[in-house]
Amino acid sequence: MSRRTLTAGLALAATLTVTTVPVAAAEQPSVKFPSAKFPLGVPSVPTRTMTSVAQGIDLYDVKAGRATDGYTVTVLMPSGRDYGMRHTAEAKLAEVEATGEVAALQKVVRPQVADAPAQEVYMVRVGLWKLEEKAKADDMAKKLKDAGLKVKVDYLGDDGLRTTGPWNVKVMMINPRAFRGSYAASLGGSVAKRETVTAMAKAGKALAAVNGGFFNIHTANELRGEPVGASVVAGRLLSEAVPGRSAVVLKGRTARVTELKTTVTAIAASGEKLPVNGVNRAAVAEELVLYTEEWGAKTPADGGTDVVLDATGKVVGVRASGAAVQRGTQVLHGSGTASDWLAAYAPEGAAVRIDTKVVDLRKGRAIKLTPDLHVIAGGVGLVRNGKTRITAKRDGHDSMNMILRRHPRTLLGTTRNGALILATVDGRQPGVTVGASFVEAAQFMRWLGARDAINLDGGGSTAMVVKDKVVNRPSDGAERPVGDALLVLPR
């Protein structure tokens, strides 16, 4: 294959397709599946099959596009990433050519989002093979590795650049005019432990469910069910918010996308106050962390102090840290200066009030923590007031991999009239389904009629369960245990 042919093929793949979404689709008067052409790739009429899950709940199995992408070999930069600045990529290109192979320099522009500018980077790629020729790409990768280069085989449909698909999507539309159930969040048996969406749906006797927000993969294995961001279950704050990040607030059969801030304060009987730094998570030095009975693990064994409170706020025990949280109690754990504060103001028999506030930043006021209130943290804001507004930097996902590349996605949107839209876009299955970038996810949710939409956890976590069965195709090949789930309940 000549350099000219290779470059032309990759240049075609490097054109990002942005489809204009008809205004009418974002302003549907009721929750209906759109009649407009599928908005991703080459606009086409998708095939869809509708199933009625329950009164007011319709499930659509949607397929669109076709497989035309193939494989290439991507050379990794010194940073370990698959892209770099032009001078870095050119140096790597020279290394490839020194082996006698033909390589191409590919410019890639990550699109601008609401809170981050566009980014221009370069990739070095070798070869271009059809979908059925992956073995040839594998052979080239081995040859380059044997020559001392670090490379990976890439399916071009994953790039987030131009593609024809295909897409396999599940869309659940819940009409507030007909639905008589409610929505809830579930963390399963405990905050610390991960569980499958199926297990949480069964335990909650849910009609349907999807995976919730991101969970902490950068903590101890036994604690990785902990949500990254706000979690409220039945009016109880079980994980603090990352201030300003996207979330969905569920109350009865209503759902609202917004941004949240939480504050938790320990107040002694004397009026002395100390901010609580976290709720149900691993603690670091000098922090005060609150553990509730839902934590499901021991407090940190870090030499700090545990103050055990009963349901009235009375201190019923002071102990060394590293023990379980008993039912009907909560524990204030402090180390360093936080431990000193507990020793001074929370001796056994004293009273400590825990003041908890969850603030809706769009409305500018606190949300009442009633038993029917639930909150699930979103990964990234996608649509606001009917317009694409991707808040990748604010929501902690400002990267080429997260913004531009295609992954399986779990998406949540609300319409002007209060309908809830839940969607799973399967991906990482070459020739079967390609997933979506953030840009495409926003386009897709607008096409479905969402006025506000967020991205929940995705990748191997993406799962939709209907009547205790997974209806999408998780990219891991099996359902992955996750931190939390959104449940659609029959009442």
Residues 79-101 have pLDDT tens digits of 999 999 999 999 999 999 999 99
Can you tell me the mean pLDDT for 128-133? 98
Q: 314 - beta bridge partners?
A: 351
Q: Residue 19 has which token pair?
A: 């489809």
Give the residue among 123, 106, 116, 132 at the shortest CA–CA distance from 6. 106
Q: Which residue has the tokens 């976290």?
A: 278
Tally of CB atoms within 10 A around 105: 16
- Whether the per-residue pLDDT at 109 is higher than 70: the answer is yes
Q: Are 476 and 428 in contact (CB under 8 A)?
A: no
Can you tell me the mean pLDDT for 249-272? 97
Close Cβ partners of 42 (under 8 Å, ≥ 6 residues apart): 17, 65, 164
Rounded CA separation 437/109 (Å): 13
Whole-number mean pLDDT of the chain? 93
- Whether the per-residue pLDDT at 30 is higher than 90: the answer is no
Cis omega (within 30 of 0) for bond into 78: no
Q: Residue 465 has which token pair?
A: 């369960």
Can you tell me the mean pLDDT for 107-134? 97
Can you tell me the mean pLDDT for 43-69? 96
CA angle 390, 395, 399 (to 5 degrees): 75
pLDDT for res 344:
98
- Whether the per-residue pLDDT at 436 is higher than 50: the answer is yes
Amino acid in position 28? Q
Can you tell me the mean pLDDT for 180-192? 97
Q: Give me the residue spans of the domains in the chain.
A: 71-158, 167-239+246-257+369-489, 263-356
Q: Residue 390 has which token pair?
A: 């991707």
How far are the Cα atoms of 250, 296, 357 from residue 371, in angstroms, in the given order? 11, 21, 15
- Whether the per-residue pLDDT at 1 is higher than 60: the answer is no
Rounded CA separation 480/333 (Å): 31
- Whether the per-residue pLDDT at 253 is higher than 70: the answer is yes
pLDDT for res 14:
42
CA atoms within 13 Å, Cβ hemisphere of 91: 8
Task: Give the model's confidence band at 27: pLDDT under 50 very low, under 70 low, under 90 confident, else very high.
Answer: very low
What's the pLDDT tens digit per position in 190-216? 999 999 999 999 999 999 999 999 999
Can you tell me the mean pLDDT for 169-185? 97
- Whether the per-residue pLDDT at 26 is higher than 60: the answer is no
